[in-house]
Amino acid sequence: MSERQKGGDFWVERRVCVTGGAGFLGSYVLEKLQERGAKDIFVPHIEDYDLVQPVGVKRMLADARPDIIIHLAANVGGIGANRARPAEFFYDNLMMGTQLIHESWKAGVAKFVAIGTVCAYPKFTPIPFREKDLWNGYPEETNAPYGLAKKMMLVQSQTYRQQYGFNSIFLIPVNLYGPRDNFNLETSHVIPALIRKCLEAQERGEREVVVWGDGTPTREFLFAGNAAEGILLGAERYDVSEPVNLGSGQEISIKALAELIVRFTDFEGQLVWDTTKPNGQPRRALDISRAEELFGFRAQMPFEEGLRHTIEWYREHRRNMRSEEKVR
């Protein structure tokens, strides 16, 4: 079945605004929208529209005049970035989400697709994470400001539907990975960071790569192209404000992940675990049954295959990416 057949004519006559469309996940969402026949796609760039500021949100809505908003934009990073800038992560993400939903309702936007985060789940959520457990405790401390800011979109989605009949949905993707990810070591997540560390150590003839924590935490990863598919299926078929997980259903320890990356990058040295650094949340693995039941989403990319694609892409692009970092 083609992408166009999957979406039918849902996107053909609709004006779509994708915040964060210039980013990692956004690039995949844009590709899939175009494959589905969307012709009128508006991508606001931060240089033109500061969505943390009310004036930027209002001007964007006036310029885009969207029927549907897919809100991907976020100030985001790994554990180190979250520890260094918790106030920024809280404020920026809270203000973007709150104002976008409110002004979208006022402007008569037909549907708002809010993208949450797995960081919103309580630190000790039973495995697998079920949507009903979202409120059963405080998130893991290093990610809590970011996770709670994003979770406020769920509250707003539900209350605006209840009081105003505003059609918004809230999707919770697990950790994403894939080609085009952020490989900047200051802000990247675990997969791109480890890929870069192993390849650069190999290039310099170094015998060790340092990894944060002790390797025992587990994570679940979703290929970004699969996440984009889940988001569009939700936009097309789901019209309820109850949260829905988007994941792959495969849990892996950080230790096993690091060993896979060592093998796939042909790094011949050793992993050194820096236990003075935080582990983050002890385990992450989602119950992904609701997404399949409610709008037919199931991840297709096998993890090892997706990991190989990501490493291959970075091998091809890393010289250009490092040159850009130096310019900045």
Catalytic residues: 146
The Cα 195–Cα 213 span in angstroms is: 17
Nearest to 191 by CA among 248, 141, 145, 129: 248
SS3 category, 110: coil
Nearest to 50 by CA among 79, 27, 34, 73: 73
β strands within 105-247, DSSP E? 111-115, 168-173, 175-177, 208-212, 218-223, 244-246
| Tokens coding 283 | 């385990």
The Cα 74–Cα 91 span in angstroms is: 11
Task: Report, in angstroms and rounded to the nearest whole number, the Rg of the chain calculated over CA atoms.
Answer: 19
| Tokens coding 238 | 């789901």
The Cα 152–Cα 148 span in angstroms is: 6
The Cα 265–Cα 318 span in angstroms is: 14
The Cα 318–Cα 166 span in angstroms is: 44
| Tokens coding 95 | 């203000």
